[in-house]
């Protein structure tokens, strides 16, 4: 155990002193934050400029119905007797948009909007007409009706939604809190995912470098493969946990600063820590065991890439997990060992009260059993792979080593 601790301490110190560890921990998050803020700012300015163009010029009106008698407030209009006159004004750029109401407007409700503003991804859901058009249309339709009724017709319903718990009691959550919890769930999801596989990547790279440089032969003369594997898992796991803590701190200060308005109980951070450790040990041991079978770093990555692909499965259904955190898909992913760490963290962050009390202990039990089996299998492959040079083993040989009796 003492030798394993020496290895763990060495791996931790060497990893956190690497240039790329510092860059990935501090510089990359700040860089992504800056790029994200710039993109959001430019997007907002672009949309605002596109909407400003709509109100800068008059709105053309072709009133075949004949009921738009009054003039609107808040925007200007130009009336035309027909489509051809309106199109000519559009070609001359005196207007950018005009609307057409046919004689049977009251029966159909159809209003054609003809505009020179081209659609785009950012403005696809934006109206090409001034914001006061809807109210003006209602006022003309209800001309002669009491002003109070007109005001109510413009906003006929004020929905007040009351959310209930399963027992029928009123929930303290609202739409705003649900949105914040979903965003925080996404944040923890990506933090855990990136941290687990970053730490596992350090583990794989360190092992492959030592093997390529034949340092492993010297190391194994004074320590057993099991002690070496345990030391690497502990040391690089601590480095990954340090990176996770830094990312969370930077996230709370930067991107997630608004989420402090959501009262997160300490259990959320405890489970974040717990599932990080379980996920890291599971994937780290498998990637280390299978990565040891490669003759160089590239082959080690190829041998271990299978687990990275399996572990990324929740990324493909994250929308489903957020929309229904306690549905069938979420529960299935929770009990699959390779997807349960990030899935459980996402579910608990979004809706902790909706999770059955027995589910967390059950999933932790599944993970612990899976880790036990993964460590046994990886230890066998690690012992064989450390001194394997020049030849990539076949699938048949790997299966034979995996299920051979423990020595």
**Tens digits of per-residue pLDDT, 109-133?**
899 999 887 776 666 566 778 888 8
> What average pLDDT does the segment 306-333 reach?
83
**Interatomic CA distance for residues 361 and 69, integer angstroms:** 70
Assigned domain for 179 exists: yes
The range of the structural domain enclosing residue 361 comes to 2-34+175-402
What is the per-residue pLDDT for 326? 86
Please give the structure tokens belonging to residue 31.
């860089």
Is residue 262 scored above 70 in pLDDT? no
Is residue 279 scored above 50 in pLDDT? yes
Give 154 or 257, the one with higher predicted confidence: 154
Please give the structure tokens belonging to residue 361.
């202990």
Closest CA to 99 of 72, 74, 64: 64
**Tens digits of per-residue pLDDT, 214-242?**
666 666 667 777 777 778 777 777 777 77
Assigned domain for 374 exists: yes
Under the banding of pLDDT at 50, 70 and 90, the label for residue 87 is very high
199, 287: one domain: yes
Give 134 or 290, the one with higher predicted confidence: 134
CATH number at residue 144: 3.40.190
Inter-helix orientation angle 225-253/359-386, to 10°: 130
What is the per-residue pLDDT for 69? 84
**Tens digits of per-residue pLDDT, 193-210?**
676 666 666 666 766 666
190, 260: one domain: yes
Assigned domain for 169 exists: no
The sign of the torsion formed by the CA atoms of 178, 184, 190, 193 equals negative
What is the per-residue pLDDT for 354? 78
Beta bridge pairs of residue 60: 78, 98
What is the per-residue pLDDT for 10? 74
65, 198: one domain: no
Please give the structure tokens belonging to residue 166.
């399963």
Last residue of a domain, one of 90, 123, 154: 154
> What average pLDDT does the segment 286-314 reach?
74
Last residue of a domain, one of 125, 154, 183: 154
188, 329: one domain: yes
Is residue 258 scored above 50 in pLDDT? no
What is the per-residue pLDDT for 201? 67
SS3 call for 293: coil
What is the per-residue pLDDT for 63? 93
> What average pLDDT does the segment 156-180 reach?
68
Please give the structure tokens belonging to residue 150.
């007109």
Question: Backbone dihedral region of 173: left (phi > 0), alpha (psi from -120 to 50 degrees) or beta?
Answer: beta
CA 323 to chain centre: 13
| 133-137, 221-225, 334-338, range with the lowest pLDDT | 221-225
Is residue 364 scored above 80 in pLDDT? yes
Helix (H) or strand (E) holding 101: strand 97-101
Please give the structure tokens belonging to residue 98.
């005009």
Domain count, the chain: 2
62, 19: one domain: no
209, 61: one domain: no
């Amino acid at each position: 155990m003492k030798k394993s601790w020496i290895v763990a301490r060495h791996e931790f110190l060497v990893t956190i002193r690497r240039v790329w560890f510092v860059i990935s921990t501090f510089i990359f998050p700040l860089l992504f934050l800056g790029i994200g803020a710039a993109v959001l700012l430019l997007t907002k300015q672009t949309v605002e400029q596109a909407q400003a163009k709509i109100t800068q010029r008059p709105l053309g009106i072709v009133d075949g119905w004949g009921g738009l008698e009054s003039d609107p407030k808040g925007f200007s209009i130009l009336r035309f007797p027909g489509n051809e006159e309106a199109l000519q004004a559009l070609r001359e750029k005196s207007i950018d948009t005009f609307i057409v109401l046919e004689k049977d407007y009251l029966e159909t409700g159809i209003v054609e909007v003809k505009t020179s503003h081209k659609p785009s991804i950012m403005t696809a859901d934006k109206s090409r007409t001034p914001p006061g058009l809807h109210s003006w249309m209602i006022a003309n339709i209800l001309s002669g009706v009491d002003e109070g009724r007109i005001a109510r017709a413009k906003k006929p319903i004020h929905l007040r939604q009351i959310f209930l718990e399963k027992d029928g009691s009123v929930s303290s959550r609202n739409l705003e809190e649900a949105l914040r919890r979903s965003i925080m769930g996404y944040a923890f999801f990506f933090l855990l995912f990136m941290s687990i596989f970053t730490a596992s990547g350090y583990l794989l790279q360190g092992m492959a470098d030592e093997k390529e440089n034949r340092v492993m032969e010297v190391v194994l003369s004074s320590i057993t493969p099991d002690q070496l594997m345990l030391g690497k898992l502990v040391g690089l796991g601590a480095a990954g946990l340090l990176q996770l803590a830094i990312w969370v701190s930077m996230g709370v200060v930067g991107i997630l600063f608004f989420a402090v308005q959501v009262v997160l109980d300490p259990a959320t951070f405890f489970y974040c820590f717990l599932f990080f450790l379980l996920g890291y040990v599971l994937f780290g041991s498998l990637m280390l065991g299978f990565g040891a079978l490669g003759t160089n770093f590239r082959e080690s990555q190829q041998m271990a890439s299978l687990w990275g692909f399996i572990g990324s499965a929740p990324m493909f259904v994250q929308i489903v997990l957020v929309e229904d955190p306690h549905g069938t898909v979420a529960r299935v992913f929770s009990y699959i060992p390779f997807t349960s760490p990030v899935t459980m963290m996402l579910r608990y962050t979004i809706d902790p009260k909706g999770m059955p009390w027995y589910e967390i202990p059950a999933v932790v039990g599944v993970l612990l059993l899976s880790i036990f089996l993964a460590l046994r299998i990886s230890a066998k492959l690690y012992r064989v792979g450390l001194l394997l040079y020049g030849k990539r083993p076949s699938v048949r040989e790997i299966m034979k080593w995996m299920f051979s009796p423990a020595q």
